[in-house]
Amino acid sequence: MIAVRPGPPLAGTVTVDGSKNAALPLLASAAALGRPVRLSNIPANTDVQIMLALLQQAGWHVARPVGEPTTAVIMPTDTRCSAPALAQAAHIRASYYLVPALLSWHGEAQLPWPGGCRIGARGMELHFAVYEAFGDRTAVDDSGYRVEADTPRTSTVSLVLPFRSRGATVAAMLRAVTTDRPLRLGEPNLSPEVLCVLDALETVGWEARTSKHLLTLTPLSSGQIDDIVWEVPGDKIEAGTLACAIAATCGTARIEGVHGKDVNPLIATLRRLGIHAGADAGILSVRARDTRSTSRGLRAIASLSPGGLDADFEPPLMALALNLPGSHLFADAINPGRHSNLLPQLARLGADIEELSPTECRLTGPQRLTGTGVEATDIRTGSALMVAGLTARGVTTVGGLDQLRRGHADLPGKLRALGADICEVTP
């Protein structure tokens, strides 16, 4: 477990890892191409390590260049075998990204139901609708699901998503790649993690166009492209968590390695709280010791709309808001089980949070928190609890590090580099 104590304001400079949420679909995209792809800035968190293991089990070769620990070259092997049993796929949500590559290489994909954070029902029905739009056949049972590839066609695939699902958007894009068919996708998810996949596909001959309500993907080049090199963008959620920690301690620090446009919604939220924050040239700067007192409060509403506030920013923002004046409203209808994880743990620290509905809550700050034992029941709950522990009186011990490490290779170490009083202890 991690022990956290309050200390001086955080200060200094730290660099974020590559983004888990971007690395996972990029790895699946590399597999879907069926050609060697060199991917750099891969984070070392548990979910990504499982995805790399799944690729190897499914018939791809993963080479790690000497002296480049964050780089991998993904290559298909020369032999094709029957569709493998991928039991580890049950441990991560993003295992569903592998379906298009498995369909292309093996003609079928048979996977257990995906795992990941327990933050509410996140069904696969929309994914199945995507594959059926391509003519594939799907079947389910208690243990998992099966998708069988249809006879190849060349016509454009058109469908409209009922909500902006990132997983279904990536599934449609990668199935278009593996079938070499044009795609028209209505109401797509246009988060930075999806856009980085589109950027990667454009480097290998696909034309991508996006508007608020439409994504089109068209194959332009059928020739082989040598030296395919992609890079995982910096982790905007890790950057946002660090920014909230800096702000909670009234610190001043710089966070390197993140695209400014990816954290603009977070910056706007911090500024509404009176916190000086900005991004320039890959650096997110926070100057919270100059925070202007405000009682306007905050409305942090998670959104799937382009430019909306990513739901994963909400937990650390809630931990920060507990220390700031005003009435603050939080809502996350995207992950309906997240508040049932987070709120009880914050309450153990003494937080007084009014639950308006299963997905909406309100709190009034500032509040005095007292350290005690809490549990990281999912990735983002764990990161929020560390932010809260930096301001709670006494010692806060955070258990469940296996959950935290699924998304961050060493978030406590990055906080420690900024001066946080954090150490790992044996229960």
CATH number at residue 351: 3.65.10.10
Among 182, 201, 231, the domain boundary falls at 231
Q: Do 202 and 307 sit in the same domain of this protein?
A: no
In a shared domain, residues 289 and 172: no
Last residue of a domain, one of 231, 263, 280: 231
> Are 142 and 197 within one domain?
yes
What pLDDT is stored for residue 121 in this prediction?
61
Alpha-carbon span 298 to 296, nearest angstrom: 7
Output the CA torsion 167→168→174→178 (10° steps).
140
Residue 101 shares a structural domain with residue 166: yes
Q: Do residue 265 and residue 151 come from a single domain?
A: no
Do 181 and 320 share a structural domain? no
Domain span at residue 216 reads 20-231
275 shares a domain with 204: no
- What pLDDT tens digit does each residue of the chain (427 aa) get? 999 999 999 999 999 999 999 999 999 999 999 899 999 999 999 999 999 999 999 989 999 999 999 999 999 887 666 666 788 888 888 999 999 999 998 899 999 988 876 756 667 899 999 999 999 999 999 889 999 998 777 889 999 999 999 999 999 999 999 999 999 999 999 999 999 999 999 999 999 999 999 999 999 866 667 789 999 999 999 999 999 999 999 999 999 999 989 999 999 999 998 899 999 989 999 998 766 655 578 899 999 988 899 999 999 999 999 999 999 999 999 888 899 999 999 999 999 999 999 999 999 999 999 999 999 999 999 999 999 999 999 999 999 999 999 999 999 999 999 999 999 888 7
Q: What pLDDT score was predicted for residue 285?
A: 96
Are 211 and 303 found together in one domain? no
Structural domain ending residue among the three candidates 190, 206, 231:
231
Judgement on whether residues 28 and 76 belong to the same structural domain of the protein = yes
Which residue type occupies 212? K
The domain total for the chain is 2
Say yes or no: 302 and 271 in one domain: yes
* Token reading at 197: 């996949």
For the four alpha carbons of 189, 16, 345 and 315, in that order, the dihedral sign comes to negative
314 and 214 in one domain? Answer: no
211 and 355 inside one domain? no
**The pLDDT value given to residue 252:** 96
